[in-house]
Amino acid sequence: MKIKEGFILRTICGEHVVVGEGIAQVNFNKMLSLNESAAYLWKEAEGKEFTRETLITLLLDKYDVSREQAAEDVDKLVCTWIKEGVVCE
């Protein structure tokens, strides 16, 4: 997977949001809000190829969570990112 070009993580009034910038994202007329851990994963994945396992490992390295919980959280997050069209598989 890879984050599509033109999607930028911004911090606005203390909130982490993904916005589309540029002509390619002209039809992306919303902001995608991310919590702290999702914003961390976005920053780590930005500009490079990543897998589900990459994101799980990042969560396990940073937070004290079980592998099962990290996998469940990553699956939900990736599903949202794909559904919103900000990553490509």
- Model confidence pLDDT, tens digit, residues 57-86: 999 999 999 999 999 999 999 999 999 989
Crossing angle for the helix pair 52-62 and 36-45, nearest 10 degrees? 130
Query: Under DSSP, is residue 57 helix (H, G, I), strand (E, B) or coil?
Result: helix
pLDDT score, position 11: 93
Determine which helix (DSSP H) or strand (DSSP E) holds 15, and give its type and residue range: strand 15-20
CATH architecture of structural domain 2-88: Orthogonal Bundle (1.10)
| Alpha-carbon gap, residue 6 to 23, rounded angstroms | 8
| pTM higher than the cut 0.75 | yes
